[in-house]
Amino acid sequence: SLGEVKIENQGNTDWCTAEATDYMCELPDKEDFEASWAFAKSKELSGEPEEWGQDIRVALKTRVLYGALPKKSNPFAHIDPAQARRVEYWPDLTKEAEPYKKQSYYKITGPYDYFDNIRSSIFYFKDEKRAVGFGVDWKWPVEPPFIPKVDTFQEGFGHMICCVGWKIVEG
């Protein structure tokens, strides 16, 4: 495992991509980051501030172009989620986020199934504490958990999570 499992409560927002990429940055940088700012920057980048959710590639590209804002640099005690998603409500925080820019992101491929390709990547980059972010088809009920062998949505909606390790459960 790359670190402690952290479950963020995004509440009634569509910031899952920002929450997941924040945690992916928090592990190596040892800093808590502000997801709402990252989401606003990703919406600025996509040009679609009112559209629900965010494309994973755009969320990752946001980290390369802008970095991540430490929570301690967030000027708001509270900001309405409808406003937080729009970059014009935020002051210019480029200097605070810039030290946390990432050099790149990449797609995991390999000779194994999805599960083993993810495990291999986490193991290979364990010293750099690189987590793996991925999209899932989110629906209810969520039991039993599984990684499907198909590349299409069956039902439900998209959700981004990140993986920091694994636990094999017998049975």
- Which pLDDT belongs to residue 10? 83
Share of the chain above pLDDT 70, in %: 89
pLDDT (tens digit, 9 = 90+) per residue, 51-109?
999 999 999 999 999 999 999 999 998 888 889 999 999 999 999 999 999 999 988 88
The pLDDT tens digits for 20-59 are 999 999 999 999 999 999 999 999 999 999 999 999 999 9
Angle of helix 35-46 relative to helix 16-29, nearest 10 degrees, comes to: 120
CA pair distance 100, 132, nearest whole angstrom: 18
Interval 155-169 mean pLDDT: 80
pTM of the model: 0.84
Residue 123 falls in which region: left (phi positive, over 0), alpha (psi -120 to 50) or beta: alpha
